Structure 1
Amino acid sequence: MSDTNSNGGIEYALYRYTPSIPAAAIFGVVFVGLSVLHLIRLIKHRSFFFIPFLVGLLLECAGYIARIFSHFDTKALGPYIVQTMLILVAPPLFAASIYMTLGRIIVKLEAEDISLVPVRFLTKIFVVGDIISFLLQCGGGGYMAAGTLSAMDTGANIVVGGLIVQLLFFGFFVVVSAIFHWRVKKRSGYVNLSPISDSRDARTRMTWESIMWALYIACLLILVRSVFRVVEFVEGNDGFIMRREYLLYIFDACLMALTGFVLWICHPGSFLARSQNKRESELSLRP
């Protein structure tokens, strides 16, 4: 697909630049590394609710590898659709694990009564919103695979709808999290609960507040990324963002890599698994 037609008008182009091999390779390696680190944490803490997050990291890796293939043929539809879909749908998987983390923290703190949304509905509501966002973005990417100008435009609009749904649910989640956090700290007899410390691994000495602040940071990073992608698609195929590849790496790749790093350092399993071990130890000592 060329940039101009026979009448001198602008046509739809898969890329307005030639994708960089070094940039794609670097982030492919970064996401592989983060995937391995998260897999180790997941197994160590048995935090299986974080599997969607791990899958998201793997999709990010595959997406950037696909961009390497696009470097050699910028008009090939296959690699373009693969990288577009995988990089788009990875963050909703990150969000799914983040939603499940809050529900588990509320239960661990035995603070279900002060949650703005009942815990039995909390994870369901946000995960359903996440699934809707995920399906819309997948559907939009799949629609674009038809390769026609009309399909590309329609697919982009569907993707924007999915991103907006993600923003709405994510924004509400941050509000719910912040209100819960504030209510716990205002509660009479509040104690900064933490699991049994282990001098052999300082990273396991996480309090519930450490995890909450890590979730806030991750949410902010994903929100900024989602706003960027909405603006990108709203601008259109010939927009400012679509013509500058470095913006994708600054406002998507870097932000998602930071999300993975933050939630590896403050991995929810570090608190949830060890607080569970503490509770099990206390119960085993009872007569």
Structure 2
Amino acid sequence: MAESEQTLRLYAFEPSYIAPIVFAVVIGISLIVHIFQNFYYRFWRTTFWMFWGGTVFTAGWIMRIFSSYDPSNKALYIAQTCLVLGGPPIYAAAEYNILGRLMSYLPMHAVFHPRRVIIVFVYLGALVESLTAAGAAKMAASKGLDISEYVLGGKLVSISLVLQAAVECVFVSFVATMHYRAARAHHLSRNVRALCFMLYGTSALVLFRCIFRAVEAFATQGVLTPEQCGSLCRLVETREWYIYVFEATPMAIYTIWLNVMHPGRYLPRNKFQYLDVDGTTERLGPGWVDRRSQWQTWADPFDLVKTIKGRPAHEKYWLQSERWPAAEGSFAQGTASNATRSLSGKLYRRVSMKPEV
């Protein structure tokens, strides 16, 4: 079969012209709102990944628009496949940063060193993203041409999806641990409760999307043409609405949810600001200080050895409230804001006794 004939089989259906436009507009608007809020709350360090994930995902649906009008164009097909698959793992990295900042805010309930959240989850997320991009590119480029490359690409995508689902499950367990500890200690203030439920919900959306993509990947493993499909394969390969219901919609809800409940509304921009043991006052502490050598922190990032022995290597500075000055306002009580001017018009003075690093 000539390549011009094979490229016509890139889609097993007649691609919609309208649906990718709708999702490109929805996710693009959400991206613009998120950029505005990042500047408004000056929260770029924590939620940069929402901007980057939104940029990639929006670009994916824009490429899908062009691809729907030129379905035999392999370059457009590869671009939209890689970008649409690559956006969600980047979105998930925003959750990991939010959890790290929540651990800094509630150090007494942190599962482990807040900065290790970035090391552990974001770098695992980078691995997921790399596997996804490599697998998607191989599958799209070899579709209808090279069975071995197509199968390899499918395996890489399958591995990345299983890994991302596993990471999300571990992530949710950490959020649940923080939630339980805060509730037991009467530290479950409105902002903490809102963030916990937001992280549960967004993680559920990522897992929902992962399950769909995993079913699709395993059902189409090694399948080059619709004729080779089984019943499940035909179900996900020949019906375009599946991708919009199980991929586009959950991730659109995800990004809108993080706009409605932007963490800049609920957590201090200054990561040294933490909730005192009284559950209302917020103080400016020294941050989490690990007294171990650098090689020990890399060998045992969770400080398991000393924690098991009952002698953790970090200082419990939150038990020495008298040493640390009270912050201006309290996010727990709703009397503080990261914005120069709150939505109600009341002016707040920014806490700047320690720079954010």
Q: Same fold (TM over 0.5)?
A: yes
What is the TM-score normalised by the length of structure 1? 0.84
In the other structure, the counterpart of 2:328 is 281
Q: Deviations over 1:103-162 (max 9, x none)?
A: 111111232xx3333324222111121111011001112323543332222212111111
Q: Which blocks of at least 5 consecutive residues in structure 2 are unaligned?
A: 224-228, 275-281, 284-326, 330-350
Structure 2 match to 1:272 = 267
1:191/1:177 CA distance change after superposition, 3 Å: closer
- Is the aligned partner of 1:219 residue 2:234? no
Give the distance between the partners of 1:255 and 1:110, measured in 2 at CA. 32
In structure 2, the residue corresponding to 1:241 is in which secondary structure?
helix
Q: Corresponding residue for 1:15?
A: 11
* Partners of 2:132 and 2:352 in 1: CA distance: 48
Q: Is the 8 A contact 2:42 2:269 kept in 1?
A: no
- Is contact 1:215–1:263 with CA below 8 Å preserved after alignment? no
More displaced, 142-151 or 31-40?
A: 142-151
Structure with the greater alpha carbon radius of gyration: 2
SS in 1 for 2:98: helix
Whole-Å separation in 2 of the counterparts to 1:246 and 1:192: 41
Distance across 1 between alignment mates of 2:209 and 2:151: 21
1:284 deviates by 8.3
Give distance in 2, aligned partners of 1:143 and 1:11. Answer: 15
Q: Which amino acid aligns with 1:186?
A: R
What is the number of equivalent residue pairs in this alignment? 263
Q: Distance in 1 between matches of 2:91 and 2:81?
A: 17
* Aligned residues: CA RMSD: 2.6
**Structure 1 position 209 matched with structure 2 position 256:** no
Report the identity percentage.
29
Any stretches of 5+ residues in structure 1 without a counterpart?
Answer: 195-206
**For 1:241 and 1:27, how far apart are their aligned partners in 2?**
19
1:252-267 equivalence runs, <5 A: 252-267=247-262
- 1:99-110 equivalences under 5 Å are 99-110=96-107
- Secondary structure of residue in 1 paired with 2:134: helix
Aligned equivalents of 1:73 and 1:284: distance in 2?
A: 54
TM-score, normalization by structure 2: 0.68
User: Which residue matches 1:186?
Assistant: 184
In 1: Cα distance, 2:82 partner to 2:352 partner: 49
Q: Is the 8 A contact 1:96 1:127 kept in 2?
A: yes
Shift in alpha-carbon separation, 1:146–1:250, aligned structure 2, 3 A: closer
1:108 to 1:116, Cα distance in 2 relative to 1, 3 A: closer
What CA distance in whole angstroms lies between the structure 2 residues aligned with 1:14 and 1:233? 16
Match of 1:199 in 2: none
Aligned equivalent of 1:26: 22
- Hey, which of these two has a bigger chunk of helix by percent? 1
Looking at structure 2, the residues matched to 250 and 284 of structure 1 have their Cα atoms a distance apart, in angstroms, of 45
Q: Give the residue type in structure 1 aligned to 2:192.
A: W
Secondary structure of residue in 2 paired with 1:281? coil
Which residue matches 2:317?
none
